[in-house]
Amino acid sequence: MVKCNPNYGKLAAGYLFPEIGRRVKAFTTGNPGVKVMRLGVGDTTQPLEPSIVKAMHAAVDGLSREDTYSGYGDEQGNAALRAAIAAWYGERGVTVEGGEVFVSDGAKCDSANIASIFASDSVVAVQDPAYPVYVDSNVIAGRTASFKDGRYEGLVYLPCTEENGFVPSPPSGKVDLIYLCSPNNPTGAVATREQLAEFVEYARANGAVIIFDAAYSFFITDSSLPRSIYEIPGAAECAIELSSFSKFAGFTGVRLGWSVVPKALKGDGCGDGGLNALWNRRQCTMFNGASNVAQAGGLAALSPEGREECGKTIEYYMENARVIREGLSSLGFKAYGGVNAPFAWVKTPGVGSWEFFDKLLNECRVVCTPGAGFGPCGEGFVRFSAFGRRENVQAAVASIRENLKL
């Protein structure tokens, strides 16, 4: 019989969000007609902006006519979109060329695939808690040993705790790859310029590469906080950045993201083209470009009109974040994040995070995300997502106020 990839057997449990889905389904099946308020999965709820809708309709119309139909696009994304993304970096004072931008069908895929250009024995560091895809993709790739006492052996965990404000220091030992996410999913913490500079310094000193997930950077309003790791001098020589249209433009279902792999980024054994050429080869071989309709929408999202429209929706979500953060704080919870990030990270009152998840679901009909699902240091916390309809968010906070039995 054919042998399966044995690394799948190491995965500790079902992927977090399907597990939440199963529990919610069990609740709704057992309580027919009861409405559940979902603040769990960070899924957008506000409609696409008018300028984006217009561009997507135009793209579909273009495909409907002989003279404007187009088939395969470049695997790396269409040149105008790559240039627009590069220009967005230019506004931050950062030089990124279009040829360093790779358009994809979303940051989840890029997060999962990016490590495949590195050696299989690379030592990987992740923030704890972290987006599960960073961990699981490396487990599947065989970069860890077995799961033991809540952690994968062979993986370096960087604890994010109340004490360090949920932003860790660089590893004490030598690692090859470091996944950093800022604004952070799940904690909502945002790394300062100084904190990122420490990581850049570490990476350059140790020949490590930072995989910087900036999918939530559009939610930063404090102008002193970096929105791209390339705002830190030297980062182009040690960092890959991933980003997404999912959250800032409502593309969770439309699917569009990008990675930046600077040409200055070198690696042992990848030749003169460096990691940029290697990722280009990976994408050309194993990917066929993002949907042309999605790319047309993405280009509109980055236009001045699109950005203004998206900015209002971001404000809407951030007001939700305020409602959650302040509402829970007023009930005596310790609530973190939710200021320059669309997630609030809330300390559970003396119970485990899955237990608190079940309490909130059963007593209050509110779905959150158990912090333990993001790593052992997430135990004792739950994540609330600010993506949602205002009335739903307000009703959820009110229901917690009225129904939670503490």
Among 328, 388, 396, residue whose Cα is nearest residue 366: 396
Q: Is 26 in the site for its own copies (CB under 8 A)?
A: no
262 cis-preceded (ω within 30 degrees of 0): no
117 vs 335, beta carbon nearer its own copies: 117
Residue 89 tokens read as: 């970096």
Among 206, 186, 177, 182, residue whose Cα is nearest residue 194: 182
CA–CA dist 141, 282 (Å, integer) = 15
Residues 330-349 that bind its own copies (CB under 8 A): none
* Sign, CA torsion 361/363/365/366: negative
Q: Is 383 helix (H, G, I), strand (E, B) or coil?
A: strand
Considering only 136-144, 341-349, 374-382, 394-402, which stretch makes contact with its own copies by CB under 8 A? 136-144
Considering only 101-109, 146-154, 324-332, 340-348, which stretch makes contact with its own copies by CB under 8 A? 101-109
Q: Is 208 in the site for its own copies (CB under 8 A)?
A: yes
Q: Is 221 in the site for its own copies (CB under 8 A)?
A: no
Beta bridge partners of 343: 385
Q: Is 82 in the site for its own copies (CB under 8 A)?
A: no
User: Pattern 281-300, binding to its own copies, x per CB under 8 A?
Assistant: xx-xxxxxxxxxxx------
Q: Is 177 in the site for its own copies (CB under 8 A)?
A: yes
CA–CA dist 129, 112 (Å, integer) = 17
Instruction: Give min distance, CB of 380 to its own copies, in A.
Output: 25
Considering only 24-32, 56-64, 361-369, 393-401, which stretch makes contact with its own copies by CB under 8 A? 56-64
Instruction: Give min distance, CB of 215 to its own copies, in A.
Output: 12
List the Cα angle 134/24/34 in 5-degree steps. 150
70 vs 161, beta carbon nearer its own copies: 70
131: left (phi over 0), alpha (psi -120 to 50) or beta: beta
Residues 245-264 that bind its own copies (CB under 8 A): 250, 252-255
**Residue labelled with tokens 């690692």:** 175
Q: Is 378 in the site for its own copies (CB under 8 A)?
A: no
What single string gives the DSSP state of each residue in 224-264? TS-SSGGGSTTGGGTEEEEEESTTTS--TTT--EEEE--TT
118 vs 356, beta carbon nearer its own copies: 118
Query: Which of 12, 73, 234, 322: binder of its own copies (CB under 8 A)?
Result: 73
176 vs 241, beta carbon nearer its own copies: 176
CA–CA dist 268, 210 (Å, integer) = 15
Q: Is 35 in the site for its own copies (CB under 8 A)?
A: no
Q: How far is CA 114 from each of CA 102, 152, 153, 164, rounded to the nearest angstrom?
A: 12, 20, 21, 28
Q: Is 146 in the site for its own copies (CB under 8 A)?
A: no
Considering only 189-197, 279-287, 302-310, 376-384, which stretch makes contact with its own copies by CB under 8 A? 279-287
Q: Give the full edge-to-edge strand order of the sheet including 335-337.
A: 335-337, 343-347, 381-385, 369-370
How many chain residues bind its own copies (CB under 8 A)?
A: 86
Q: Is 172 in the site for its own copies (CB under 8 A)?
A: no
Q: Is 360 helix (H, G, I), strand (E, B) or coil?
A: helix
60 vs 351, beta carbon nearer its own copies: 60
188 vs 289, beta carbon nearer its own copies: 289
